[in-house]
Amino acid sequence: MNNKLKLGLILSFALTVLTRVMTWHSKGGLFRRNGSANIDDYLNSARLVAEGNIGALMSYRPTQLLYPILLSPITRFGLSEDIYIFWLHMGLTLSTTFLIFMLGKKLLNPLFGVIAALAFSVFPLPFVWFTWAMTETLYYSLAILHVLVFFYALEKRTFLIGLLFTTILLAVTKLDVLPMIALSWAFIWLKYAGEAFGKPAARLSLLFFVVISTSSLVLSIASSPKLQSKLRQHFHVSVGLWVSTHTASNANANEHNEAIALQGQINPKECYTAEGAALYGSVERCVRDFYSRIGIQFIRDNPARWMKMNWIRFTSHLMPAMYHTNWTPLYRFVHFSISFFVIFGASFSLVLAPNGNIRFFYFLALSTLAIPAIYEADAELRFRIISQIMWLVIAPYGWLLALARIKLLSWLQPTLTPCTISSKTN
């Protein structure tokens, strides 16, 4: 890598620090919201870890253990929440910048790695979450690390151990990443099983595994009322079933707030009796079960409407400015411009790039939207960010390919050829 590219990488680190420091000060430091179901709970979970009460944490956030563990030194050593979280998030964000450079370099070449790192350093969507004590900042870093190791694993089997390690870390960080994990391992299976047994056998065996495992899961749930009850009483299942059946658009904050208000209006009174609480073990579990059952009944009664709502929620992840009627025209234009650049640039890469691994990468990013589109209303616009960050790596390349294709930048064509992924892995 020449000196100009090294300076570009150093500049991306400097801009990463500058933008996050400016965000931290403009927001008044660590964001706090008393009674928040997210922020306060993560800090409380960290206290449970510091006290050695992992069992209580496992019962509440079994898929979000890693971030509270990283926060536990605050309680264990009596550290300042603001100072510790600032430096923790800064370290994670700088590592994300470097990993994005490495990913761009791996997929394309060092020039586009630097461009991707620079683009991420000033990409505004993740800024606000830097000040929140939530899993987002950690999630971005681990997701990019997993994808980077995935591409190394496509070339050398020894990296499969690293891929397994990042899989475990992601599995205890955020539930939304499960489709991406499954898809990455499916690609790995098709790669190595295809080499050993042939592509038809690899594809058939993968299809067989998906059908059998899905059928077994559905039958297990359908035949076990006890398991159904446990699932209904899970916090994320309850919230997801309620919100996903009462909001048509992730981007409509008013609709989301109305759904939450309606939830309060039909609060189940029977759960606040001694009999109701005893039946479910606690008032909280009874309430979760109640809202889960309402959501399930809605899906049974209105399957077509629910599927339509899912599609609208999915598209609102991609283009929230199309649905946010309460935004100012300027704010909608800025958001629309960002989404347009990222999504269309990545799509141009998908269609025009000669590199098959870019297609893998595109669908890995798309898979991160699968669970949020069905499960949760994204009034805060945070669930879509990881897909946007990932697509940002290939978006500039896609736009240059498109412009070169229509002869506007044909002189750039020689620089648009990826140079680090061999054709053997495509």
Q: Report whether pLDDT(145) > 70.
A: yes
- Main-chain dihedrals φ then ψ at residue 79, nearest 5 degrees: -85, 160
Q: Is residue 148 part of a domain?
A: no
**CA-wise closest residue to 41 among 135, 176, 127:** 135
Domains held by the chain: number: 1
Biggest CA-to-CA distance, the chain: 76
Q: Is residue 293 part of a domain?
A: yes
Indicate yes or no: pTM above 0.85. yes
3 state DSSP class of 269? helix
**CA-wise closest residue to 389 among 23, 173, 86, 127:** 127
**87: which residues sit within 8 A by CB, 6+ positions away?**
none
Buried b (16+ CB within 10 A) or exposed e, 281-312: eeeebbbbbbbbebbeebeeeeeeebeebeeb
**Are 103 and 119 contacting, i.e. CB atoms less than 8 angstroms apart?**
no
High-pLDDT (> 90) share of the chain, %: 50
**CA-wise closest residue to 256 among 268, 266, 267, 248:** 248
- Cα 152 to chain center, whole Å? 21
pLDDT reported for residue 394: 95
Q: Indicate the range of 115-129, 198-212, 251-265, 290-304 predicted with least confidence.
A: 251-265
Q: Report whether pLDDT(422) > 50.
A: no
**How many CB atoms lie under 10 A from the CB of residue 319?**
16
Nearest-angstrom CA–CA distance, 314 and 234 = 23
Confidence bin at 421 (pLDDT 50/70/90): very low
26-40, 153-167, 406-420, range with greatest mean pLDDT: 153-167
Quick: pLDDT tens for 336-371. Answer: 999 999 999 999 999 988 778 899 999 999 999 888
Q: Is residue 135 part of a domain?
A: no
Nearest-angstrom CA–CA distance, 192 and 180 = 19
Quick: pLDDT tens for 49-81. Answer: 888 877 766 666 666 889 999 999 999 999 999
High-pLDDT (> 70) share of the chain, %: 84
Q: Is residue 323 part of a domain?
A: no
pLDDT reported for residue 319: 85
Average pLDDT of the chain is 85
Quick: pLDDT tens for 312-345. Answer: 778 888 888 887 777 889 988 998 999 999 999 9
pLDDT reported for residue 37: 46
Q: Is residue 294 part of a domain?
A: yes
Mean pLDDT, residues 390-399 taken together? 94
Q: Report whether pLDDT(122) > 50.
A: yes
**How many CB atoms lie under 10 A from the CB of residue 193?**
16
Nearest-angstrom CA–CA distance, 1 and 331 = 38
Q: Is residue 252 part of a domain?
A: yes
Mean pLDDT, residues 138-155 taken together? 97
Q: Which domain holds residue 232?
A: 224-301
Q: Report whether pLDDT(268) > 80.
A: no
Q: Is residue 379 part of a domain?
A: no
Nearest-angstrom CA–CA distance, 393 and 107 = 9
Q: Is residue 270 part of a domain?
A: yes
Nearest-angstrom CA–CA distance, 347 and 406 = 16
Quick: pLDDT tens for 202-224. Answer: 999 999 999 999 999 999 999 99
Mean pLDDT, residues 28-43 taken together? 67
